[in-house]
Amino acid sequence: MPLAHGRPYLAIPGPSVMPDRVLAAMHRAAPNIYDGPLPEMVAGLWPDLKRLAGCSGHVGIWLANGHGAWEAANSNLFSRGDRALLLSTGKFGLGWSESLKPLGVQVEMLDFGKSVPVDLNRVEAALRADRAHGIKALLVSHVDTSSGVKNDIPALRALLDTLGHPALLAVDGVASMGCDEMRMDDWGVDLIVGASQKGLMVPPGLGFLWVSDRAVTQCRGSDLRTPYWDWDSRFSATEFWQHWFGTAPTHHLFGLRESLDMIFEEGLEAVWARHGALARAVWAAFDAWGAGHPEIALNVADPAHRSHAVTAARIGPAPNATRLRHWTEAKAGVTLGIGLGMTGPGDPAGDAFLRVAHMGHVNAHMTLGALAVMEAGMQALEIPHGAGALEAAAGAVARFVAGAA
């Protein structure tokens, strides 16, 4: 008999769990878009979105998902024939490059595989080879949601500065915003791509760009802009209707207002710390499951380069990860993420990988509950695994709460 009745937990890395407060804020009749609470509320979103990113520049919202926000970035950054250096650490790096090629942007891709961060030596070599400074922008995922790799963004800025290379630093922050530390100004980031349905806890449908003054200046002549994506009209908007190029994303905006309130009530640094602590609990469990069982392992070896929003892991051999995902959903109400693009030898379907999200509106009981359900599933399915995972995860939570980690 399954034990799945009760509140289900969607532990996939987007869309993430929607807080009841966000849902309640969206539960209303269609609002007037010319006057009243909605236009009045929106003025406060811009400063709070900038605060979220540590951005003193510009922010724009498009009715779009992350792919749309990529396109907003692409069409403002580049002219046809411009060169981009794209650093890929998983499926989303590949995805960004695929979105650029049809636009006629020349993408040089450095592919670092799917389990290690960007290798700065290779980036340095590529930038040094570009003596004429033809590369207009360096594009990189902060967190690649498929692999769980987190890249060191300040190190890329330091490299550009050391080499005196003028390329803009553009970061995909779709998975990391509101989960992993991000300090746009301090880190010298020129552009961040974001979307509403991950750390921001709002349904899919809002795409964001945070953009530096430098990027606005260097991209004035970009000829790929079309009216809808052009950031100038968004950044210079003063009237409510000017921000949306048509009808506003009415309910999403009320949801976003609530989610930003929740983030700043908790405190942005506390939000980042919570994600770090829950991530460490997940890692501790996997380390225990994998002890003596090398077929179970975290995808990223170095903790400093693991996302705090999502953990990708191997539970081999195939199809054990998929069997476990099906079990946790059907028998216990916990939906885990698929092993997106994470195939290995003898595993063309990615059935040896899964992802555990700890992204957004997630607390200790949710993460510990998901891990306990995974443990139960491994027992039920007779997937061999090391002992002590739950104790290890609980210990990570206890140490964090006590201020010891």
- Here's the x/- map for ligand PLP, 253-292, by CB under 6 A: it reads as ----------------------------------------
Residue listed under structure tokens 């869309």: 15
Q: Closer to ligand PLP by CB, 11 or 174: give it.
A: 174
Among 11, 62, 65, 222, binds ligand PLP (CB under 6 A): 65
Whether omega before 15 lies within 30 degrees of 0, making that bond cis, reads: yes
Q: Is 362:178 a contact under the CB 8 Å cutoff?
A: no
Among 9, 12, 14, 362, binds ligand PLP (CB under 6 A): 14
Contact flag: residue 67 with ligand PLP (CB under 6 A): yes
SS3 11: strand
Contact flag: residue 52 with ligand PLP (CB under 6 A): no
Phi and psi of 18, rounded to 5°? -95, 120
Count of C-beta atoms within a 10 Å radius of residue 9: 22
We find the least distance from the C-beta atom of residue 72 to ligand PLP, in angstroms, to be 12
Among 19, 188, 204, 317, binds ligand PLP (CB under 6 A): 204
Tokens coding 192: 């961040």
Tokens coding 38: 């909605």
Of all residues in the shown chain, the one whose CB is closest to ligand PLP is 66
Closest-CA residue to 202 (of 165, 252, 163): 252
Distance between CA atoms of residues 2 and 16, nearest Å = 24
We find the least distance from the C-beta atom of residue 193 to ligand PLP, in angstroms, to be 7
Tokens coding 129: 């080879």
Q: Closer to ligand PLP by CB, 74 or 141: give it.
A: 141
Among 18, 72, 174, 372, binds ligand PLP (CB under 6 A): 174
Among 170, 192, 195, 342, binds ligand PLP (CB under 6 A): 195
Closest-CA residue to 211 (of 49, 48, 57): 57
We find the least distance from the C-beta atom of residue 144 to ligand PLP, in angstroms, to be 6
We find the least distance from the C-beta atom of residue 97 to ligand PLP, in angstroms, to be 12
Contact flag: residue 117 with ligand PLP (CB under 6 A): no
Contact flag: residue 311 with ligand PLP (CB under 6 A): no
**DSSP letter at 271?**
H
Tell whether the torsion through CA atoms of 72, 242, 263 and 203 is positive or negative.
negative
We find the least distance from the C-beta atom of residue 204 to ligand PLP, in angstroms, to be 5
Distance between CA atoms of residues 234 and 212, nearest Å = 14
Contact flag: residue 19 with ligand PLP (CB under 6 A): no
Distance between CA atoms of residues 260 and 272, nearest Å = 14
We find the least distance from the C-beta atom of residue 226 to ligand PLP, in angstroms, to be 19
Given the rule CB under 6 A, which of 41-49, 169-177, 353-361, 378-386 is the region that contacts ligand PLP?
A: 169-177
Contact flag: residue 199 with ligand PLP (CB under 6 A): no
We find the least distance from the C-beta atom of residue 310 to ligand PLP, in angstroms, to be 8
Contact flag: residue 66 with ligand PLP (CB under 6 A): yes
Residue listed under structure tokens 């006057």: 35
SS3 103: helix
Among 76, 89, 115, 145, binds ligand PLP (CB under 6 A): 145
Contact flag: residue 175 with ligand PLP (CB under 6 A): yes
SS3 7: coil
Instruction: Tell the burial category of 130 from Cβ atoms under 10 Å away from its Cβ (0-12, 13-18, 19+).
Output: middle
We find the least distance from the C-beta atom of residue 337 to ligand PLP, in angstroms, to be 11
* Cα 201–Cα 233–Cα 197 angle in degrees, nearest 5: 10
Given the rule CB under 6 A, which of 16-24, 42-50, 170-178, 321-329 is the region that contacts ligand PLP?
A: 170-178
Contact flag: residue 182 with ligand PLP (CB under 6 A): no
SS3 113: coil
We find the least distance from the C-beta atom of residue 266 to ligand PLP, in angstroms, to be 22
Tokens coding 390: 């739950």
Residues near ligand PLP (CB under 6 A), total:
12
Q: Is 222:71 a contact under the CB 8 Å cutoff?
A: no
**DSSP letter at 32?**
P
- Please report, as ranges, the residues that interact with ligand PLP according to CB under 6 A: 14, 65-67, 92, 141, 145, 172, 174-175, 195, 204
